Chain A
């Protein structure tokens, strides 16, 4: 069957500053085809999708839409030429009905007023086209997450796209809803002839839905193949080759003495019970899909969320942690998940960012600030973690992701007394390039060798292989496994995904 090409990109490149995120992509997307798009975090997927939808201006290269070539697209142009995108994060509005959500911003009008009955009728047609039975008058609040995703698709169809981009549409969905969504997507591609770009992290979905598969790594296309010509092992290898797991110095777990941190049936608001004992020098990876409770558990251990049950022992002693300040006093630190949302003060200087937890305490105990000592502390850390540029007065928002993350992590490494330190990290290398990533791992390994223990949550299997001595797998808030380091990423992905579907089936 010959399918005609909807969108083609040629030698598409994008750089942010000196970092090249897309290194010359050549791709084609065809009508009636589901084109799955895979890649680890930071592979350049979002940037590429942004180029297609007009949100990102490419540095060079060409995008051909409808046979018309563009250097760069504006969002409006992309829309007019039939490119629709549905983002990973929900863009629907509670408090409005399904029909109102579908027509938001493009209301059907009669005499200048919103024509409600026409909207409802039209919405019903669109939903029927998708073979789902949702009443357009239902309030969005009453819909499940899967149904909401379908409403977003319905809204996108409203502008008659030829190519529909779905960015991790199933990331927050359960097994059943996933199947329903797959039906909708297949319907659109195979019956209606839309081109679909389908981004996912789940290898099982590929088998389920894809016609063609492209793997992206470090800003380059590794290969594009027909689904029949590939298999999960090959996919996992392409996404994150085994050799890319960096070799770090050997772990030095201390067997004697009490455990640094011991959880017995520990529960946080949405997670638990967890049973885990971590020794000084040990790194525990916490792996699970989105919504598996990783963040909930870490923030609870840091006192930023409630501890709702079970016991917590630090150095063998039962402890309660009421708030982050108490956690810091006990040597616990947290590098929170979203750097810009939860960690960095963009309009304060690098020094202020680094020292914010320490002003007036621990290493800077004096009541009056000492600018010289503050600058020394920054320079010392900047050289230890090679923060670039090593400019203590530069605003934090002017640092690249990797360097900003070094500053955020550096906050908790200023204390030279690494013994009994417990470092919690939530997605520590999100938006961090590979070079800085390895430096961060090396820094953590040094802290481990000095007797700290590390618990880090990640959705990147490579990170588990690189750093973790043992791995705690979470699924839907429950501890599903505590395993010694897995042999490869695929094993881990499979485990996390299988357990989540098993729990769902139960």
Chain B
């Protein structure tokens, strides 16, 4: 193509003067920004240091059994956190996850008898999809405010769950309970599900076009709309993904505890999930973030829960520590944005 050849020539002709500034750009990139570096390293470093601290105080902490224990404890939270983090990257929040998890747990518990295990699981996932559609249509399609809508469905879903099952549902079929304790290649099923969700999330964000679109929507949904991104559709899809994840988490949890208490299942999960996402560095208004860091934050919170119990720290103290960690992380992020701005 002559056009191309021409522009190539003009490019190489303009290469010379460009070179001066070009090198400075390269130099700037090579120079390591230590403040930036230490802030980004803070989270992984915290995980390592806290792990070492717990190990020093209670050697049991580093046993394979305890790590598997931790993974089972965080499995449900991780399963919801990954899609919820993607949702927050697009600039939307879902506060109804804990209640939806309870609703799904109750629905599953009540339908084993009539539908059998596969039927009840499929039905529960459908409920998750439907609840996601409900939030998503109101927020993405009709344009209602995400905080208000999901605060409403947070109460609504809990209400429905308690209405269906005023008392805890328990006594599930053996074929289902195996989900809670069964293992595959030495790891519990619950851990495998968690890993599966994490890997899927990472692959989607890294390799599928929708990963970039989610970030673009979070940065500026008007601009995304003007380059042909289907903003409504994408956000709707994310709410559905969160709904499905809540159904999975509900199933995982009731299988583990062999009971579906409508009043306490998934309580405070929305706070836990949001804490992990923000701790993992996704800004509340979205537009960027790394799922790997979010996953690390989930691990950190799980480790704190586990390690503090091993050290016989009271739960009140554990709450204070976890809250403090989040505020500290926010302070680090403020330093970073102040420098950038």
Give A residues with C-beta under 8 Å from B. Answer: 18, 302, 304, 324-325, 327-328, 334, 336, 341-348, 352, 355-357, 359-361, 364, 367-369, 380, 383-386, 388-389, 391, 394, 411, 446
Contact = CB atoms under 8 A, between A and B. Distances in A.
By secondary structure, the B interface counts as: helix
B308 to A, nearest CB: 36
A201 to B, nearest CB: 27
12 contacts: A304-B225, A324-B226, A325-B230, A336-B226, A342-B222, A345-B215, A345-B216, A347-B219, A347-B287, A357-B229, A389-B25, A391-B25
Given A328-B228, A357-B227, A360-B208, 9 more contacts: A346-B219, A347-B288, A348-B216, A355-B212, A356-B227, A356-B229, A361-B228, A380-B4, A384-B7
Interface residues of B, number: 34
A343 B7 contact: no
A252 B122 CA distance: 63
Nearest to A388: B18
B37 interface: no
A389 B21 contact: yes
Contacts of B230: 325
B8 interface: yes
Q: Which of A325, A357, A359, A369 has the most CB of B within 10 A?
A: A359
Contacts of B229: 356-357
B11 A345 contact: no
A144 B4 CA distance: 54
Contacts of A325: 228, 230
Interface of B: 3-4, 7-8, 10-11, 14, 18, 21-22, 25, 206-213, 215-216, 219-220, 222-230, 287-288
B219 A352 contact: no
Contact of A359 (B10, B21, B209): B209
B261 to A, nearest CB: 42
A380 B209 CA distance: 21
B219 A356 contact: no
A348 B212 contact: yes
By secondary structure, the A interface counts as: loop
A336 B4 CA distance: 27
B226 A345 contact: no
Q: Which of B207, B213, B227, B230 has the most CB of A within 10 A?
A: B227
A278 to B, nearest CB: 21
A304 B287 contact: no
A89 to B, nearest CB: 18
- By Cβ-Cβ distance, the 9 closest A-B pairs, closest first, are A359-B209, A360-B209, A383-B11, A357-B227, A325-B228, A384-B7, A345-B219, A356-B227, A328-B228
A128 B230 CA distance: 54
Contacts of B21: 18, 388-389
A328 B228 CA distance: 7
Nearest to B211: A369
Contacts of A345: 215-216, 219-220, 223-224
A384 B219 contact: no
B226 A342 contact: yes
B7 A348 contact: no
B226 A343 contact: yes
B142 to A, nearest CB: 17
A382 B4 CA distance: 12
A383 B8 contact: yes
A300 to B, nearest CB: 13
A360 B207 CA distance: 11
Nearest to B233: A325
Contacts of A18: 21
A324 B8 CA distance: 32
Contacts of A394: 25
Contacts of B212: 348, 352, 355-356, 359, 369
Contacts of B228: 324-325, 327-328, 357, 361
A304 B225 CA distance: 8
A356 B22 contact: no
Contacts of A411: 227
Contact of B208 (A347, A352, A368, A385): A368
Contacts of B3: 446
Nearest to B10: A386
A3 to B, nearest CB: 42
Contact of A369 (B18, B208, B220, B225): B208
B89 to A, nearest CB: 11
B223 A386 contact: no
B113 to A, nearest CB: 41
Contact of B213 (A304, A342, A347, A359): A359
Q: Which of A341, A355, A380, A386 has the most CB of B within 10 A?
A: A386
